[in-house]
Chains A and B, each alone.
Chain A
Amino acid sequence: QKEVEQNSGPLSVPEGAIASLNCTYSDRGSQSFFWYRQYSGKSPELIMSIYSNGDKEDGRFTAQLNKASQYVSLLIRDSQPSDSATYLCAVYSGGYNKLIFGAGTRLAVHP
Chain B
Amino acid sequence: DTGVSQDPRHKITKRGQNVTFRCDPISEHNRLYWYRQTLGQGPEFLTYFQNEAQLEKSRLLSDRFSAERPKGSFSTLEIQRTEQGDSAMYLCASSIDGDQPQHFGDGTRLSIL
Contacts and interface: CB of A to CB of B under 8 A. Distances in A.
A88 B98 contact: no
B103 interface: yes
A101 B43 contact: yes
Interface in B47-69: 48, 55-56, 58
Contact of B103 (A8, A46, A102, A104): A46
Given A43-B106, A43-B107, A98-B48, A92 B42 contact: no
Interface residues of A, number: 27
Contact of A103 (B41, B93, B105): B41
Interface residues of B, number: 25
Nearest to B6: A43
A73 interface: no
A100 B45 contact: yes
Contact of B43 (A44, A46, A51, A92): A44
Contacts of A4: 42
Contacts of B41: 103-104
Interface string A6-26: 001000000000000000000
B56 A94 contact: yes
A17 B107 CA distance: 32
Contacts of B85: none
Contact of B98 (A90, A95, A101, A102): A95
Contact of A43 (B33, B42, B91, B101): B91
A101 B82 CA distance: 25
B99 A97 contact: no
Contact of A49 (B93, B101, B104): B101
11 contacts: A43-B107, A45-B104, A46-B103, A88-B42, A97-B98, A98-B33, A99-B35, A99-B93, A101-B42, A101-B43, A103-B41
